[in-house]
Structure formats: C-alpha cells, structure tokens
C-alpha cells in the first residue's frame, strides 16, 4: 500500500491531553483543561436543551444542505443563505478549501506561527508552503504580499491569530485586500471573533461584496461552546461558495450540531456575558504577568501566550502535576512560553496559584 509521498512521516494532529486520561495517569481528582480554548462556561443552556430534542431521531440522515442553520446564520450576520459553506468544524472548511484549490503546481501563503491546519492540509495536497514569520507578534501582511506569485492560490489570515491572540487591524487588512491579486483567495479565519473587543478589528463581512476573493471562517466551537458537535462555516460570494460545494461530503454536519447551533445563535445575551467574563479574566492574567515581570502578548481571544522563561515542555509537565492542562509553546514557535486558555474566575485563581508554585520550584531547582 502506498500513501502520497508527502504524507509519509507526517505527524497527525496532536490534540490537548484529554482530562480523563490525565486524572487516571496522575491520580488527580480534579483536572482543568485550559489547552484547547473551549468555552470554560460551556454552551448556552438553550443549546444544551436543543441537543436533547435533536437526539431523538438518530436513524435519520441529517439535512446535508443544513437549511435551517444556514438561514439562521444568514439572518444573524446579514448575508444570503447561498453565501455559506458549512463544515464539521471550520477545520473541515479549511480541508475543503485545500482540496478544491491546491495541488503540487500551486503554493499557499501563511504566517508562522499560526493555526496548524492550513499547513497540514496544504501539505497533503502537495502544495508548496510559504510561511512568513510574524512581525512583532502580528501577521506581516507586507511580507506575505511579497510571497504571492502566479502560482499562489490561498493566503491565510488568522485573525485573531492562534497561538498568539494578536490581531490584524482594519486599516492593515483593507490595505492588504487592495493589493492581493483578484485570483488569489484570502481566508480570514475568525474563530475567536466573539471575544474580540478591539475597536479597530476589521468588519470583514462589509468587504464581501467588493472582494470575490475573500472568504471568512467562523465556528461554533469556541465562544458558542459547541466544540464536541463539530460545526463551523465559511462565508464568501455566492459564486465562490457554489464552486466549492462539490467538495463537501454529503452529510458533513450532523443533525444534533445543526439544532444546537441554531439555539446557540439565538442566545446572544449568553455570548455577550461570556465575552465580558473572558475580558475580565484576561485582564487578570495580564495584571499577574505585569506584577511578576513576565512577558505576554495582548490577546483578543480567550487564551494568552505567556513567557515564563522556562521550557514550555517543563512547565507543561509541572502544571499537569497540579491538575492544569495547558499548551507548551515549544511546538508553537515560542519555546519558553505557555499558551493558556482563560478559564472561569475560580479556575484562574487556582491556575495562577499553581503557576506561581511552578515558577518558584523552577527557580529553586536552577539555584540548587
């Protein structure tokens, strides 16, 4: 048996450690997962209730066109239903874009570090990857423009960026769009948009009419608290969406996810509450870092990158022993940093205490 040569030796996606596994391995009663940027407050109670309803007919195929959630999203963000492409998470929309547009005669441009799935899927399709390092922690859009040539098909702008939490502002985004050739797709991945509070964050929906080469990605996995359901979508001009639709697997979003997403979308108050609580907790993490003289990147998401000055892997193990699953910065291009999801107020109180203990232990082990 022979897989494509570019897949040989490729690492599968490494998810954050599952909580139950950590509990078992370390004999801990309580474990907090602050690794995958899930909503620490969970989904809206309305979404949870909708799941109970949707689960009653497991034998019936889902609506492949996702008509109800399609209309709900269209109304919510003010576009036509035909402008939406649904996926089993926005991960699947990324996969579909790569499958539809990339091969070994093309290239794709992205930041580094950024969300891993752009590169992962592009490599599978055999495309050349052109990575442009972040500049002062932010997408270097000018540098990315320079990498575009006649073989470029997709440029990825993760906004706000994962793993840094930083964002591209409206002025920079607009200047970028004006210069990207019209036959090159710009993907604005807005997985964390519900958490954004910056006033100069671009309202990309307003640019869709002007740019046939713009696609926006959104997800129900983060602020909406439906990560386990696997549903997200892309928004673009109708013509682009139609040309991509043949790549979509027939029943790619399931009934339970569709119902849960409709209910979640209808509870804007809940999202607003989560955004406010999240901002408060981010502020707390920032204040702690300032007090301790730790560098951090200001975040527009529900996670933060913090420079502990200790190997990210060492901090990962040390925090794990205290019941906190975070992300080491080592695999994210920030070796002595950690990425932590902003938890609830209670979780963050315990987390900051654990972090303090770990940092003290490190200091002593270095001196001793």
Contact call for residues 226 and 261 (beta carbons, < 8 A):
yes
Q: Does 227 bind ligand PLP (CB under 6 A)?
A: yes
Q: Does 90 bind ligand PLP (CB under 6 A)?
A: yes
Q: Does 89 bind ligand PLP (CB under 6 A)?
A: yes
What does the DSSP 8-state code read for residue 336? T
Element (H, E) at 260: helix 255-265
Q: Does 270 bind ligand PLP (CB under 6 A)?
A: no
User: Which member of 125, 189, 194, 281 binds ligand PLP (CB under 6 A)?
Assistant: 189
Q: What is the DSSP string of 46-87?
A: HHHHHHHHHTT-TTSPP-TT-HHHHHHHHHHHT--GGGEEEE
In angstroms, the CA 70 to CA 2 distance is: 39
Number of other residues whose CB lies within 10 A of the CB of residue 45: 11
Residues 108-127 that bind ligand PLP (CB under 6 A): 115
State the nearest-atom distance from the C-beta of 359 to ligand PLP, in Å.
27
Q: Which stretch binds ligand PLP (CB under 6 A): 61-69, 180-188, 216-224, 350-358?
A: 216-224
Q: Does 194 bind ligand PLP (CB under 6 A)?
A: no
Q: Which stretch binds ligand PLP (CB under 6 A): 40-48, 87-95, 305-313, 329-337?
A: 87-95
User: Which member of 39, 44, 152, 162 binds ligand PLP (CB under 6 A)?
Assistant: 162
- Reduced to 3 states (helix: H, G, I; strand: E, B; else coil), residue 275 is helix
Kindly list the strands in the beta sheet with 295-296, ordered across the sheet, starting from the edge strand earlier in the chain. Answer: 295-296, 303-307, 337-341, 327-328
State the nearest-atom distance from the C-beta of 4 to ligand PLP, in Å.
23
Q: Does 145 bind ligand PLP (CB under 6 A)?
A: no
In angstroms, the CA 162 to CA 110 distance is: 12
In angstroms, the CA 176 to CA 155 distance is: 11
Q: Does 232 bind ligand PLP (CB under 6 A)?
A: yes
CA 314, 327, 136 angle in degrees (round to 5)?
100
State the nearest-atom distance from the C-beta of 133 to ligand PLP, in Å.
18
**Integer-rounded Cα radius of gyration of the chain:** 21
Q: Burial of 343 by CB count in 10 Å (0-12 exposed, 13-18 middle, 19+ buried)?
A: buried
Q: Does 154 bind ligand PLP (CB under 6 A)?
A: no
Considering the complex, state which of residue 193 and residue 320 has its C-beta at the smaller distance from ligand PLP: 193
Q: Does 261 bind ligand PLP (CB under 6 A)?
A: no
Number of other residues whose CB lies within 10 A of the CB of residue 207: 17
Q: Which stretch binds ligand PLP (CB under 6 A): 220-228, 246-254, 271-279, 286-294?
A: 220-228
Give how many residues touch ligand PLP by CB under 6 A. 13
Contact call for residues 307 and 294 (beta carbons, < 8 A):
yes
Considering the complex, state which of residue 90 and residue 252 has its C-beta at the smaller distance from ligand PLP: 90
Residues 7-36 that bind ligand PLP (CB under 6 A): none
Residue nearest to ligand PLP according to CB distances in the complex: 89
Residues that bind ligand PLP in the complex, under the rule CB under 6 A: 89-91, 115, 158, 162, 189, 191, 219, 221-222, 227, 232
């Amino acid at each position: 048996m022979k897989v494509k040569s570019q897949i040989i030796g490729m690492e599968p996606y490494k998810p954050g450690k599952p909580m139950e596994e950590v509990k078992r391995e370390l004999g801990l009663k309580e474990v907090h997962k602050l690794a995958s940027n899930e909503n620490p407050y969970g989904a809206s109670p309305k979404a949870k209730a909708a799941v109970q309803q949707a689960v009653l007919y497991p034998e019936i195929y889902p609506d492949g066109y996702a008509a109800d959630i399609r209309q709900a999203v269209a109304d919510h963000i003010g576009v036509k239903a035909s402008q939406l492409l649904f996926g089993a998470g926005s991960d699947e929309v990324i996969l579909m874009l790569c499958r539809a547009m990339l091969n070994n005669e093309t290239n794709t441009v992205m930041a580094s570090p950024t969300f891993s799935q752009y590169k992962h899927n592009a490599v599978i399709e055999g495309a050349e990857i052109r990575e442009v390092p972040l500049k002062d922690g932010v997408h270097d859009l000018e540098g990315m423009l320079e990498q575009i040539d006649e073989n470029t098909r997709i440029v990825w702008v993760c906004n706000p960026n994962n793993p840094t939490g930083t964002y591209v502002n409206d002025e920079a985004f607009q200047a970028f769009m004006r210069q990207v050739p019209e036959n090159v797709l710009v993907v604005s991945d807005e997985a964390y948009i519900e958490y954004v509070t910056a006033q100069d964050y671009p309202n990309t929906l307003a640019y869709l009419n002007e740019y046939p080469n713009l696609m926006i990605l959104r997800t129900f996995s983060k602020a909406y608290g439906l990560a386990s359901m696997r549903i997200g979508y892309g928004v673009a001009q109708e013509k682009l969406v139609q040309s991509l639709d043949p790549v979509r697997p027939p029943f790619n979003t399931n009934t339970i996810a569709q119902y849960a997403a409709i209910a979640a979308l209808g509870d804007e108050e809940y999202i607003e509450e989560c955004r406010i609580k999240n901002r408060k907790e981010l502020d707390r993490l920032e204040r702690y870092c300032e007090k301790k003289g730790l560098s951090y990147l200001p975040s527009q998401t529900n996670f933060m990158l913090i420079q502990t000055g200790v190997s990210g892997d060492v901090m990962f193990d040390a925090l794990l022993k205290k019941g906190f699953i975070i992300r080491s910065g080592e695999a994210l291009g920030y070796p002595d940093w950690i990425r932590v999801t902003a938890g609830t107020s209670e979780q963050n109180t315990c987390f900051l205490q654990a972090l303090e203990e770990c940092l003290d232990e490190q200091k002593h082990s270095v001196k001793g």
